[in-house]
Amino acid sequence: MIEVKDLSDPALSKLIKTKRRVALIPVGSIEQHGPHLPVSTDSDIVSEIAKRLSEKTDFMLLPTINYGVSFEHHPRFNLSIPKSTLRKFIIDLCTSLSKNRINHIIILNGHHGNQPSLKNIPEIMNKITRGKVQVSVFSYWHFMKRKFDHAGFVETSIMLAISKRVAMKKARKGFNIDKYSEKQKNRLNKLASRSFLAIAKNGVWGDPTKATVKDGKMILSEIVQNLLKESNLPY
């Protein structure tokens, strides 16, 4: 596993020279995840997935970007940066990677609200560098069968598998979207992306009460396997 922050400059320079290198940038968030999970949940999960992915590849793992776009969690705790700031930051980082002769970049996203900032980055980088820099963006939940949630079964199970900071006794059922029609689901999803708490009153989307370590481990390995298939394609 190549973890960039741990390496010296001579070691990195040597690595970059030997073959075409792929940088992996995990992007998370700091935001409320109900009463039972830490605010770093998205960052923790995406860091773990990125670590596992880089253990199975020779991707160069970069430090996680811990802050994202989480304004929708106001008035609960969230440390947020505007969409345009996150986009600019990542474009600048990709540009810097390219100056270091790393022209293949994977952005691994762990927070729903970051998606609008990230989705155009491949095209923007392609344009700025005239095709020299290739960026792929993946949101981890697109690589699992279960539905994405927020502090619900999926996130809580994954956290149980990777963290000691889950307070299961405080876990409570949250908003359940399954009982609504497709049309209503679309409307509720839109509303939640503006004000999460207006829809999920206790800050939880889904049901964390039946989450287990075993499910967390299974979901994690499913995501990593599927990401491996996908992320190897362009390289």
HSE toward the beta carbon, residue 5, CA cutoff 13 A: 7
Q: How many whole angstroms separate alpha carbon 210 and alpha carbon 232?
A: 34
User: Of these, 2, 42, 62, 196, which contacts Zn ion (CB under 5 A)?
Assistant: 42
Q: Choose the stretch contacting Zn ion; rule: CB under 5 A; options: 38-46, 58-66, 88-96, 168-176.
A: 38-46
Residue 138 phi, psi (nearest 5): -125, 135
**Nearest approach, Cβ of residue 227 and Zn ion (Å):** 18
- For the packed helices 213-232 and 153-162, what is the interaxial angle rounded to 10 degrees? 90
One DSSP character per residue, 96-154 reads HHHHTT--EEEEEE--GGGHHHHTTHHHHHHHHTTTS-EEEEEEGGGGSSSPP-BSSHH
**Nearest approach, Cβ of residue 41 and Zn ion (Å):** 5
**Per CB under 5 A, 44 contacts Zn ion:** no
Which of residues 22 and 200 has its CB atom nearest to Zn ion in the complex? 200
Which of residues 21 and 110 has its CB atom nearest to Zn ion in the complex? 110
Task: Give the interface size with Zn ion as a residue count (CB under 5 A).
Answer: 2
Amino acid type, 106:
I
**Nearest approach, Cβ of residue 234 and Zn ion (Å):** 27
Which of residues 78 and 98 has its CB atom nearest to Zn ion in the complex? 78
**Nearest approach, Cβ of residue 111 and Zn ion (Å):** 6
* Residue showing tokens 């100056």: 99
Q: How many whole angstroms separate alpha carbon 128 and alpha carbon 57?
A: 28
Which of residues 2 and 192 has its CB atom nearest to Zn ion in the complex? 192
HSE toward the beta carbon, residue 135, CA cutoff 13 A: 27
Q: Are strands 60-61 and 78-79 parallel, antiparallel or unpaired?
A: unpaired
Q: Choose the stretch contacting Zn ion; rule: CB under 5 A; options: 19-27, 41-49, 66-74, 140-148.
A: 41-49
Q: Choose the stretch contacting Zn ion; rule: CB under 5 A; options: 7-15, 42-50, 61-69, 131-139.
A: 42-50
Q: Choose the stretch contacting Zn ion; rule: CB under 5 A; options: 35-43, 55-63, 77-85, 227-235.
A: 35-43
**Which residues form the interface with Zn ion (CB under 5 A)?**
41-42
